[in-house]
Structure 1
């Protein structure tokens, strides 16, 4: 049965109350950050920084982010802890956006920062808007509301605020509900080319026969591709490509040089892009067939080309006129898109020798973490009778999907076993882990960039030793999640906290505490946290002391840097904080120090867990091998022989596998056979030998 908007509002409100303290200021922050995280997960935003500021002069702001495209995202919240779903009118929408644009204009033109308290978050934001001035290419105004938008508002036109291009985005409770319930859990792009650019785009059909899926070859003008990227940003890029671009960062120098020096040769030099869509609308035009509409357009290979065209045009003022890009567009229906699109992305990018760690969405690391989270029960918290699980969302929307077909009583049971506050995503995991592994600066770069760095690091470590990612690793990750989320609440409750920089303070607090312990060749006792599913009073006190020291340090950036958030992204910030770990020694409670565990103990625990994981991996490999019959192995072996892809050792083990069930491969031999299957798959040989 479909949930009404009013029911969704009620559920969402309970979710907020569970995640926040009782005070309305906590609820406001929780509301803003919940929506922002949703938009980050689905590619609307790169990151988000909380910043609540209200002034008598008709100005307000609740958050911001300076993104890589030279644009500024500014947020205003319409939130009043309402008990029931109410309507949001056009007058109220206009009023909210006016307050936000007043703040932007006063910051950019009237030196508003001079009237603000230097240690306050709004000072850093206002000062940075002023300092960046004309280099802000665009401002995106976001209104996020707990109310439902009046049906009379369809869309808001882009315009200019001061001399800066401005766009307006409303995220009300109805839009949030649509986003969460849509397949793939992202709002689908629906691009109408005649509406946007005055005409369709010429294409050639590349599909043959009625059974083949639709595909088209297109030569797309670079001006249009760049304009689409400016309009939709990272939402155009399939998640794996987005991760890859975040990890790589810079504009491709070769692409830039061609645009600048040999624009006419761009089509000849560039490999073009690969894209997918759920639906494509074509019509007969004056010059043949043309595409007029693409639904759920995603670039799965060529993100670097697209971003480089945009940046070179904007930063270097290079003309894109006369530059064309070849595009292969495949139409994949929504039922298959979640499975097929990432695969197209993986294969298309394999040809460019991109490290597999960069394409992390379907990495076996995630599959293992998901398996642990579905299997391992967390100990019951003190006073609770019931054990629970921590639900890892390997793919977006799994938590909602797992409940979608349950009866009310089954749903209640599921939520009791998997409480919503114990659900965590890939970007959450990257945050929990990176702060402890001396990478706090990455956490301050925003969720997407931090995830990209984590993916790169873990991908490399997995290649070296996948057994290191054991039950111990999983339990330690959950303990880190418990400490991270507790620290967020503690910081918000401190008397010195003024509503800003919480994310920065939390990241550096945990990093500094971890660094302090490592200097003594010790570690936080994460298994103790896992076993109690809570933070002990001595650790809590240590977090409070460390967070105050961190806060006092970061609000005094190095000379020449006016914005605390920008300072927190620099390595100098972390290096300076590490120098203050000596002060912690005097301030931290003795009981906290006594409860640190020796690194030797931790190493032994890891070693034992690694051995167990190795055995588990062997058993799992053997199970998969035995699911395939001897005759099937024989057919696969013949096909592999024909293509000459087997080593002598692999051929010998394949012979043995072809005699299943009379001969059973060992766990070690099974691991080799699994690798052979992967190799065969890459050569187009399927499991049944066809």
Structure 2
């Protein structure tokens, strides 16, 4: 990575994080960074609960948080506000303590919340639900890992030599024990694993350069589990080698705790909870742990490089580069969550096959992993849709975006590959003209495309979750495993652009910050759109509304006023029917959507004459 790429990334992020008045906003920077983190699988969703809180007296700060899809990992985001100025040329960082002071602000927040020392935070503060959760018995039980992301528009460098040299700063994971006392109960002790990540310009520029594939996961076994893994070499070919081993279940539990979904980056499934096959895995762990190795198919692991050594005539595996579990992700997760529930996993062993692809070509590696996944997954069916890295339907959509001229005469830009637009800007002889032609409001990525498309449906809770679940739902809808799927034609494209305009306009109507309707925009907007879809679907399937939006490329004043009322109502309904004070997290649950769409308040609003007239239903 060169310094020029880092400078370009800084300029792009600063420009993308400006509000309507031209000021860089920390919450907008977080929104720009989240999809990049999702690309590298260090988060499960681009959705984040914006909870800006700063206390100079307590030396704590937080910009936002999210909880991973399986609930055991709290991910906290903090923006280093020292490097947000466009005029600041001194954004090179060489000392670890520059970042350490920022991390400490988030660590103090967690420690103070667990010990119930933040009682001065008002109920109306967006951070209140998180503080209450951390200070509760339920929160202490739920969370095992606290992962802190320091988002900074600084470049981490070494000043050895004439020019600054980019470098990476890593922080060791720390275990910290907490004592928590609940009134009327004995004090409880809980050990939390703290993981610190520097999300600097080096890291972000690398994501753009690799189109989403950042630094591969390297596992050094002594650092994670305290010892190397004894293995047997089973094959050694020119471009391929294979090892066999038996892994103790606590080893897998430790790996999952540390790396979570990163282990399964190329795996085709996320954890499916204790149902079906996983229910059987849990039962075996509980009733016949010694027989687990006989009943279970084991793991298939891939890597691009293995470091091994001999000790007393035995072969040991020291580390794996680009470590991925491509078959057995359910087994690994089930072992971890069984242990979390209190089951004894000390006598459980799992067979593992480790395949090392001796190739530097990512396409060859991807092909190998796809075939391994397809042929070795026998515990549960693998959809071919899951294994496809590129969809022909997206190629068709890209072609339409380049050929279809909207009524205004200004086309939209579909960024099918990460960083595609910025690359074209730099290649163009007049980059500024291209930026003027396609401002941010006229561009969309494939991840945003999935969100906009799926919001016009009956699953706003999944849209709120975001991430792979929504994108997979979108792909499986337009290109199902059986049949031809949806025809990606001009009519589809026009309706898609209308859905984008509707979604983005409603985000603007809801607002952000002090002038916003509330703190639930990422939930209220898809919930409101799904309500429109549900009631339109009983009349004219919403076609009239979408056609009108496409032709005007905007929303009328009367429609905007109606949508504003709907968003106010939806904001209150989410809070009213939520069974948790953390409304943002609870809005990811289907039961909340079922309660909201069946509520008398929403039915009454949608049935009114003024609403029907505004929405053409």
Q: Tell me the TM-score normalised to structure 1 length.
A: 0.75
User: Of 543, 547, 552, which residue of structure 2 is paired with 1:527?
Assistant: 547
| CA drift at 1:235 | 0.8
| CA drift at 1:271 | 0.9
1:241-256 to 2 correspondences below 5 Å: 241=268, 244-245=269-270, 252-256=278-282
> Would you say 1:36 and 2:34 are equivalent positions?
yes
User: Of 202, 206, 210, which residue of structure 2 is paired with 1:174?
Assistant: 202
- The 1:419/1:119 distance shift into structure 2, 3 A limit, reads same
Preserved CA contact (<8 Å) 1:247 1:358 = no
Task: Write out per-residue CA displacement over residues 429-484 of structure 1, whole angstroms, 9 at most, x where no aligned residue.
Answer: 33222222111122233423444555566665x52552555443343233222322
Corresponding position of 1:677: none
- The 1:497/1:378 distance shift into structure 2, 3 A limit, reads farther
- The 1:32/1:143 distance shift into structure 2, 3 A limit, reads same
| CA drift at 1:337 | 4.3
User: Of 146, 152, 157, which residue of structure 2 is paired with 1:139?
Assistant: 146
Corresponding position of 2:454: 434
1:68-467 to 2 correspondences below 5 Å: 68-79=70-81, 81-83=84-86, 84-85=88-89, 86-88=91-93, 90-110=96-116, 112=118, 115-131=120-136, 132-135=138-141, 136-149=143-156, 151=158, 154-159=169-174, 160=176, 162=178, 163-165=190-192, 166-182=194-210, 185-210=213-238, 212-241=239-268, 244-245=269-270, 252-321=278-347, 323-331=349-357, 333-335=359-361, 336-337=363-364, 339-349=366-376, 351-352=378-379, 354-356=381-383, 359=386, 361-362=388-389, 366-377=391-402, 386-393=410-417, 397=418, 399=420, 403=424, 407-409=427-429, 422-454=442-474, 463-467=482-486
Preserved CA contact (<8 Å) 1:554 1:564 = yes
Corresponding position of 2:163: none
Corresponding position of 1:655: none
Preserved CA contact (<8 Å) 1:116 1:123 = yes
| CA drift at 1:120 | 3.6
CA RMSD of aligned residues (A): 3.5
| CA drift at 1:417 | 7.5
| CA drift at 1:399 | 2.4
- The 1:431/1:224 distance shift into structure 2, 3 A limit, reads same
Corresponding position of 2:55: 55
| CA drift at 1:296 | 0.8
Preserved CA contact (<8 Å) 1:541 1:589 = no
Task: Write out per-residue CA displacement over residues 144-183 of structure 1, whole angstroms, 9 at most, x where no aligned residue.
Answer: 1122346598332333163542222221122211233237
Q: Find the aligned partners of 2:497 and 2:369 in 1 and give their Cα distance.
A: 28
- Which sits farther off after the overlay, 64-73 or 434-443? 64-73
Q: Find the aligned partners of 1:417 and 1:238 in 2 and give their Cα distance.
A: 36
Q: Find the aligned partners of 1:528 and 1:332 in 2 and give their Cα distance.
A: 56
Corresponding position of 1:654: none
Corresponding position of 2:20: 21
| CA drift at 1:304 | 0.5
Larger Rg: 1
Secondary structure of 1:207's aligned partner? strand
Preserved CA contact (<8 Å) 1:430 1:454 = yes
| CA drift at 1:226 | 2.2
| CA drift at 1:280 | 2.0
Q: Find the aligned partners of 1:23 and 1:490 in 2 and give their Cα distance.
A: 19
Number of aligned residues: 580
- The 1:380/1:541 distance shift into structure 2, 3 A limit, reads farther
- The 1:240/1:299 distance shift into structure 2, 3 A limit, reads closer
- The 1:176/1:337 distance shift into structure 2, 3 A limit, reads farther
- The 1:206/1:375 distance shift into structure 2, 3 A limit, reads farther
Q: Find the aligned partners of 2:228 and 2:533 in 1 and give their Cα distance.
A: 57
Corresponding position of 2:182: none
Q: Find the aligned partners of 2:373 and 2:446 in 1 and give their Cα distance.
A: 18
| CA drift at 1:277 | 1.4
Corresponding position of 2:532: 513
Corresponding position of 2:589: 570
Preserved CA contact (<8 Å) 1:220 1:327 = no
Higher share of residues assigned helix: 1
Q: Find the aligned partners of 2:422 and 2:378 in 1 and give their Cα distance.
A: 34
Preserved CA contact (<8 Å) 1:357 1:459 = no
Secondary structure of 2:25's aligned partner? helix
> Would you say 1:549 and 2:569 are equivalent positions?
yes
Task: Write out per-residue CA displacement over residues 651-688 of structure 1, whole angstroms, 9 at most, x where no aligned residue.
Answer: xxxxxxxxxxxxxxxxxxxxxxxxxxxxxxxxxxxxxx
Ranges in structure 2 where 5+ consecutive residues have no aligned partner: 159-166, 179-189
Secondary structure of 2:402's aligned partner? coil
- The 1:129/1:498 distance shift into structure 2, 3 A limit, reads farther
- The 1:330/1:249 distance shift into structure 2, 3 A limit, reads farther
| CA drift at 1:352 | 4.3
